Structure 1
Amino acid sequence: MSNTPTVVLVHGAFADASSFARVVTELLADGTQVLVPAVPNRSLAGDAAYVASVVRQIEGPVLLVGHSYGGAVITVAGREDNVVGLVYLAAYVLDEGESLGELQSRFPDSPLAGALVYTPFPVEGSDEPGTDVSVDISRFPEIFAADVDTVLTRALAVSQRPLAGAAFGEPASTAAWKDRPVWGIVASSDQAINPDVQRFGYERAQAKVTEVDSSHLVMHAHPAEVVQVIREALASVTV
């Protein structure tokens, strides 16, 4: 069994696994083992259970990295026995029993709140539809990725992975950061998650914090800074 952790990168809402492409390239060049699962984005409990199932099948330690809503997911999935650390990227860090909506409600809304689009989707076994939440395509570049190549952001805008609206009100069943080492990147020019929401969560989790003047998609805009924080975390948790 290897003592070097596998890095599991967990994407957030309105994005998919490809959002980590530039980070993955650098980590693989380092010889780091990496997995980037496709998160269903259907419910916090379900998404965390899926990521936890991926983690359980990895032999050896795991460093979980979560972006945005992916931060909430790793907060719950991080309870798996082989998780040795958590890295948050422009992310929500929930406490046990706390929901995304509750945490966000303590701070002024970001511009994202006025750019969300709500679309019904069929729910298997139910006559009532669910609600998918996405970002207005025309506003996606300015809100999500203002410092990312405009050609790329147009492609990202039309290939969003929506988040089911129910996930916003679902409380976290646990908070893995209470007994794991934590690192966090604040995207200080974030127009999607208020940077103060990020700072609050990181301070509560006693994270080692790095601030980057970045849009919400910090992995695209500043991959070198993201990779450096992951490398620091790996060095700290590798036995």
Structure 2
Amino acid sequence: MISKFIRAAVLATTLLGSTAVGLADDQKPTVVLVHGAFADTSSWDKVDALLAAKGYKIISFANPLRGVASDSAYATQLVDQIAGPVVLVGHSYGGEVISNVQPKTANVKALVYVAAFSPDIGESAASLSGRFPGGTLGEALAKPVALADGEQDLYIDQSKFHDQFAKDVPEEQARLMAIGQRPITAAALGEPAKHALWKSIPSWHIYGSADRNITADAMKFMAERAKSRDTVEVEGASHVVMISNPAKVADLIEEAAEAK
């Protein structure tokens, strides 16, 4: 029953993404946006609007945030039902998900990492964060929520959310984001990657110099390692660079989408 529901949900999401933008240009690739931890699909709203205005077909993927292997397998089901070329865009932990997508039929032409992890095989969010100290996420987490299976859900303490996650957005907006944040399992942050799609697909990278979740040094290293086609560091931007600087993020996605 659950698997049937998932298949139906994926198909419905695919169809919705293909028709939601009435003026979509069939010659353009479909852009699949994958949010990260402590966020949801609304984190892409400003980028969605800018890309839609230019005729891009867009699907904002509801990332389960349960584990790298399961989340990327779920994303793969969606991606494989999209006709034509695809640009995968990941924010934060969503970068791990797009790195581990293993399309069987889809034509993934580009990867865009937005303040995101792009792990190599065997690396995790936790191991990369430990390699490049300076992030303060651990200090900002609320008491974990114990789950029935022995796992834990992690949230950012709402009183610390603005400073930690979204310092460059208005305080009231950050307050609402904190209330609506979606948790990630502790295991997901420690789960090692089994694939590194950036080794075979060209990538683009953008991040903020003032990111407190993933340090700029870490993201610069990952971009250089992936031989990024274009890397943009936004001065003073927080972890939610797609919210505070949507035009810069949309421009980089368009650059990736149009690259030959």
Out of 45, 51, 59, which is 1:35 matched to?
Answer: 59
Relative to the length of structure 2, the TM-score reads 0.86
Residues 114-158 of structure 1, C-alpha deviation per residue, up to 9 Å, x if partnerless?
A: 1112423434xxxx4210011110000011111112111100001
Cα distance, 1:109 vs structure 2: 3.5
Say whether the 8 Å CA contact 2:147–2:153 is kept in structure 1.
no
Say whether the 8 Å CA contact 1:64–1:78 is kept in structure 2.
no
Match of 1:130 in 2: 151
Deviating more after overlay: 34-43 vs 114-123: 114-123
Relative to the length of structure 1, the TM-score reads 0.93
Say whether the 8 Å CA contact 1:23–1:226 is kept in structure 2.
yes
Q: Between Structure 1 and Structure 2, how many residues are aligned?
A: 233
Amino acid aligned to 2:129: Q
Say whether the 8 Å CA contact 1:70–1:91 is kept in structure 2.
yes
Q: Return the alpha-carbon distance in structure 2 between the equivalents of residues 132 and 113 of structure 1.
A: 13
Q: Return the alpha-carbon distance in structure 2 between the equivalents of residues 99 and 147 of structure 1.
A: 27
Say whether the 8 Å CA contact 2:87–2:109 is kept in structure 1.
yes
Helix, strand or coil: the match of 1:135? coil
Match of 1:74 in 2: 98
Matching of residue 120 in structure 1 with residue 145 in structure 2 = yes
Match of 1:150 in 2: 171
Match of 1:212 in 2: 234
Identity of aligned residues (%): 45
Cα distance, 1:76 vs structure 2: 0.5
Matching of residue 46 in structure 1 with residue 70 in structure 2 = yes
Return closer, same or farther for 1:68/1:53 CA change in 2, 3 Å cut-off. same
Return closer, same or farther for 1:200/1:78 CA change in 2, 3 Å cut-off. farther
Cα distance, 1:44 vs structure 2: 0.6
Q: Return the alpha-carbon distance in structure 2 between the equivalents of residues 15 and 69 of structure 1.
A: 10
Residues 49-71 of structure 1, C-alpha deviation per residue, up to 9 Å, x if partnerless?
A: 11111101111110000000001
Q: Return the alpha-carbon distance in structure 2 between the equivalents of residues 78 and 89 of structure 1.
A: 20
Matching of residue 19 in structure 1 with residue 43 in structure 2 = yes
Matching of residue 60 in structure 1 with residue 84 in structure 2 = yes
Out of 72, 76, 84, which is 2:109 matched to?
Answer: 84
Helix, strand or coil: the match of 2:158? coil
Aligned-pair Cα RMSD in Å: 1.5
Q: Return the alpha-carbon distance in structure 2 between the equivalents of residues 204 and 30 of structure 1.
A: 31
Deviating more after overlay: 6-15 vs 90-99: 90-99
Q: Which runs of 5+ in 1 are unaligned?
A: none
Q: Which runs of 5+ in 2 are unaligned?
A: 1-25
Helix, strand or coil: the match of 1:225? helix
Higher relative contact order at CA 8 Å, sep ≥6: structure 1 or structure 2? 1
Residues 9-67 of structure 1, C-alpha deviation per residue, up to 9 Å, x if partnerless?
A: 00000000000000000111111000001100001111101111110111111000000
Q: Return the alpha-carbon distance in structure 1 between the equivalents of residues 102 and 250 of structure 2.
A: 20
Out of 161, 169, 173, which is 1:140 matched to?
Answer: 161
Q: Return the alpha-carbon distance in structure 1 between the equivalents of residues 112 and 168 of structure 2.
A: 22
Cα distance, 1:4 vs structure 2: 2.2
